[in-house]
């Protein structure tokens, strides 16, 4: 066993021993199915704490010819699958495992990282395959080819955090170019099939683009935009989270509110593994994933002054989706030229979710939304800070039943965010009210247009189970009266909507009207 060549299975063994392991071993069935084919190169990118390194360690333990790991897999799904070819490749490959973050952290100078990778791996290969590598060889690809010519051996290459150099040296084009050349020599060569049986790369970002083409076009890429057949391995599925909540006594509905939101066609809902596991361990829902990195990185991208970014962010904070074009993004953190580039990057970082059918982005859950609020309040975009502060004032005025103040704040929101020609019906009023009540989402779940036999309630905010705040039931009117809106809530018994969600506490009945002639909002609030 070596450091880079056929490392031991200790890493995966430790993961299993910790307990609460969610079985993702069927990823092996996919990698087995593409070995030695024209799809043998896999790059699977996803955000921090989404299990990238766990998968890399699992594959290393499975393929490594010196790992002796059969007992680790005997109770996992892959050992009992019908089409996984489990035993055919179990501990049958020579594995090269490269953790790029480790090389960066031990390099005396980050510019030497690429040289360090090749020098250290070649030194280990010389010891394992004496007499195969010629003197003076410094290129890893040449060393592997020479080993193959002498022994016929091919390698399964695992690169964990492949894009770490692009993130740590994001302004150093010399280092990035040298690194891409190394990867190309391994994976984009007419001789690749002579030395490589398969490859699996993890990272946050997809492979860097030059123009419209990937720098490594032979890789099959699976991302947070298009996870393809690997969608269920991008995080925890809803069924897996439901099972964990049941086993460890957590409220699944709360888990869903805090951590759900990443949406793929095949699996529908995907959850952040780090956050779910921490919630189980601590028996408490909290912001776990974003605590692993300061909000400074998010704030940097929010502060970029691209047209339309502010309005889109406000809409998304209010629960809306925003259509984007992901095609211009160059898969790095520096070539950002539009709000679409920023939002596409935030999808890869996990701060936004993406609906590929509608080509829309949105804030996935409460955990991430808290991070956006924190970043906005401490950012340089003062217009966004004012939006959040004003929404806080609106919620406080509502809870104090200060109807005139509520109406005045709605006037401000309307005046700043809606052109007169677009403010012409109740739906436009709804958009303004939702935008104004952004801060409600810190304490409430929002529901729109709930139906009953007597009609539809416009907006309902149900407080968190641990909150002492009252529910808010809002009815909107256009060219009528706020008092009439409150009467409609009572007459049609819209209070029942709150009871549907097992809420038995106090409710504020809120009527809001806009008079198109006077251009004024009015408000009426009653306690129920």
> What backbone torsions phi and psi does residue 127 show, to the nearest 5 degrees?
-70, -40
Higher-confidence residue of 330 and 352: namely 352
pLDDT of residue 55: 94
| Mean pLDDT in residue range 45-68 | 91
Position 22 confidence tier, pLDDT thresholds 50, 70, 90: very high
pLDDT of residue 123: 96
Residue-wise pLDDT tens digits, 96-125: 999 999 999 998 899 999 999 999 999 999
| Mean pLDDT in residue range 62-81 | 90
Q: Helix or strand or coil: residue 442?
A: helix
| Mean pLDDT in residue range 493-514 | 87
Position 283 confidence tier, pLDDT thresholds 50, 70, 90: very high
Task: Answer for the pair 114, 175: CB distance below 8 angstroms, yes or no.
Answer: yes
| Mean pLDDT in residue range 83-103 | 89
pLDDT of residue 221: 92
pLDDT of residue 214: 63
* pLDDT value at 319 more than 90: no
For the chain, the average pLDDT equals 86
> What backbone torsions phi and psi does residue 345 show, to the nearest 5 degrees?
-60, -40
**CA angle (245, 248, 253) in 5-degree steps:** 25
Residue-wise pLDDT tens digits, 348-375: 999 999 998 889 999 998 888 878 877 7
Q: Which of 2-11, 38-47, 278-287, 411-420 has the lowest mean pLDDT?
A: 411-420
| Mean pLDDT in residue range 298-325 | 80
pLDDT of residue 83: 60
pLDDT of residue 209: 67
Domain ranges of the chain: 10-222, 230-380, 397-527
Please state, for a pLDDT cut of 70, what percent of the chain lies above it: 91
Distance separating alpha carbons of residues 32 and 226, to the nearest angstrom: 21
pLDDT of residue 424: 53
| Mean pLDDT in residue range 486-512 | 88
Task: Answer for the pair 372, 317: CB distance below 8 angstroms, yes or no.
Answer: yes
pLDDT of residue 468: 85
Higher-confidence residue of 385 and 7: namely 7
Bridge partners of 295, per DSSP, are none
Instruction: State how far Cα 312 lies from the chain centre.
Output: 18
pLDDT of residue 417: 58
How many separate helices (H) and strands (E) can be counted in the chain?
A: 24, 18
| Residues across the chain | 528
Residue-wise pLDDT tens digits, 380-421: 667 777 777 888 888 899 999 999 999 998 888 777 655 444
pLDDT of residue 140: 96
Position 136 confidence tier, pLDDT thresholds 50, 70, 90: very high
Q: Give 289's DSSP letter.
A: S
pLDDT of residue 421: 47
Spell out a b/e string for 456-484, using b for 16 or more CB atoms within 10 Å of the CB, else e.
Answer: ebbbbbbbeeeeebbbbbbbbbbebebee
pLDDT of residue 419: 46
Q: Strand (E) positions, 249-323?
A: 262-264, 268-271, 322-323
Q: Which of 132-141, 441-450, 459-468 has the lowest mean pLDDT?
A: 441-450
Q: H helices of 45-171, where?
A: 52-63, 70-73, 77-80, 86-89, 100-106, 113-128, 140-151, 164-168
Position 285 confidence tier, pLDDT thresholds 50, 70, 90: confident
Q: Which of 196-200, 295-299, 339-343, 349-353 has the lowest mean pLDDT?
A: 295-299
Distance separating alpha carbons of residues 46 and 220, to the nearest angstrom: 14
pLDDT of residue 23: 93
- Which segment, 98-102, 305-309, 369-373, 504-508, is predicted with the most confidence on average? 98-102
Position 296 confidence tier, pLDDT thresholds 50, 70, 90: low
* pLDDT value at 17 more than 90: no
Q: Helix or strand or coil: residue 199?
A: strand
| Mean pLDDT in residue range 261-289 | 86
CATH code for 397-527? 3.40.1350
Class of domain 10-222: alpha beta
Higher-confidence residue of 233 and 455: namely 233
CA atoms within 13 A of residue 452's CA, in its CB half-sphere: 16
Record the pTM: 0.82
Kindly list the distances between the CA atom of residue 433 and the CA atoms of 23, 391, 446, 460, in Å, as whole numbers in the listed order: 44, 10, 12, 12
Position 90 confidence tier, pLDDT thresholds 50, 70, 90: very high
pLDDT of residue 178: 92
| Mean pLDDT in residue range 135-162 | 95
Distance separating alpha carbons of residues 85 and 72, to the nearest angstrom: 16
Residue-wise pLDDT tens digits, 463-494: 887 788 999 999 988 899 999 999 998 988 88
Angle between helices 252-259 and 366-377 (to 10 degrees): 40
* pLDDT value at 19 more than 80: no
């Amino acid at each position: 066993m070596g450091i880079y060549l056929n490392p031991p299975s200790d890493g995966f063994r430790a993961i299993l021993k910790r307990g609460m392991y969610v079985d993702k071993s069927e990823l092996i069935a996919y990698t087995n199915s593409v070995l030695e084919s024209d799809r043998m190169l896999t790059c699977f990118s996803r955000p921090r704490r989404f299990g990238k390194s766990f998968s890399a360690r699992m594959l290393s333990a499975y393929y490594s010819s010196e790992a002796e790991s059969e007992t680790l897999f005997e109770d996992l799904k892959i050992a009992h699958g019908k089409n996984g070819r489990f035993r055919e490749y179990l501990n049958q490959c020579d594995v090269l495992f490269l953790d790029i973050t480790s090389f960066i952290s031990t390099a005396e100078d980050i510019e030497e990282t690429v040289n360090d990778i090749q020098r250290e791996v070649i030194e280990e290969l010389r010891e394992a395959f004496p007499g195969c590598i010629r003197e003076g060889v410094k290129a890893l690809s040449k060393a592997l080819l020479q080993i193959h010519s002498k022994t016929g051996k091919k390698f399964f290459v695992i690169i964990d955090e492949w894009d770490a150099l692009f993130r740590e040296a994001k302004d150093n084009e010399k280092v990035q170019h040298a690194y891409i050349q190394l990867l190309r020599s391994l994976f984009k060569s007419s001789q690749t099939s002579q030395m490589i049986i398969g490859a699996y790369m993890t990272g946050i970002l997809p492979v860097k683009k030059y123009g419209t083409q990937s720098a490594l076009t032979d890789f099959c890429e699976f991302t947070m935009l298009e996870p393809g057949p690997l969608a269920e391995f991008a995080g925890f599925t809803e069924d897996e989270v439901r099972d964990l909540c049941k086993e460890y006594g957590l409220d699944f509905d709360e888990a869903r509110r805090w951590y759900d939101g990443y949406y793929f066609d095949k699996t529908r809902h995907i959850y952040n593994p780090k956050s779910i596991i921490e919630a189980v361990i601590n028996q408490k829902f909290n912001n776990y994933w974003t605590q692993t990195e300061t909000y400074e990185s998010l704030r940097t991208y929010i502060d970029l002054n691209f047209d339309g970014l502010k309005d889109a962010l406000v809409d998304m904070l209010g629960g809306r989706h925003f259509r984007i074009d992901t095609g211009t993004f160059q898969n790095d953190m520096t070539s950002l030229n539009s709000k679409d580039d920023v939002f596409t990057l935030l999808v890869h970082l996990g701060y936004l979710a993406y609906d590929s059918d509608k080509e829309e982005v949105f804030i996935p859950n409460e955990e991430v939304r808290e991070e956006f609020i924190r970043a906005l309040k401490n950012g340089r975009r003062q217009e966004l800070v004012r939006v959040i502060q004003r929404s806080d004032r609106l919620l406080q005025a509502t809870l104090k039943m200060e109807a005139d103040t509520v109406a005045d704040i709605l006037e401000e929101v309307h005046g700043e965010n809606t052109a007169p020609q677009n403010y012409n019906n109740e739906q436009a009023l709804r958009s303004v009210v939702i935008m104004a009540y952004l801060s409600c989402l810190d304490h409430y779940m929002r529901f729109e247009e709930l139906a009953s036999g007597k009609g539809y309630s416009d907006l309902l905010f149900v407080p968190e189970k641990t909150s002492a705040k009252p529910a808010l039931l809002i009815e909107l009117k256009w060219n009528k009266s706020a008092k009439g809106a409150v009467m409609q809530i009572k007459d049609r018994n819209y209070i029942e909507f709150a009871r549907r969600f097992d809420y038995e506490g106090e409710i504020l009945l809120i009527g809001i009207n806009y008079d198109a002639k006077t251009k004024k909002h009015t408000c009426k609030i009653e306690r129920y």
